[in-house]
Amino acid sequence: IRYLPWEEWRAGQPADQAQATWDHIAHSPNCSIAKAQRLLHYQPRYSSLQAVYEAVQWLIMQDTVATE
């Protein structure tokens, strides 16, 4: 898995998959936990990047994602 700019990634995908991905990106909410941190002293167990890392590691262990 590696990062590609949107246009480059889209060019390598079937049109229906690229459209579905764009719809997901365009309509995904971006929420803040600042209020919960301030009022409830909430501290997440994982950062966003840690959560992605753990998810990708799980996909690798399930042989869903191939590594080089």
Is the separation of the CB atoms in 18 and 4 below 8 Å?
Answer: no
Mean pLDDT of 46-65: 92
Secondary structure of 29-68 in HEC code, one letter for each residue: CCCCCHHHHHHHCCCCCCCHHHHHHHHHHHHHHCCCCCCC
pLDDT at 3: 85
Q: Name the pLDDT band for 33 (thresholds 50, 70, 90).
A: very high
Question: What phi, psi does 27 have (nearest 5°)?
Answer: -110, 10
Assign 1 a pLDDT band (cuts: 50, 70, 90): confident
Is residue 28 within 8 A of residue 20, CB to CB? The reply is no
| Residue-wise pLDDT tens digits, 38-48 | 999 999 999 98
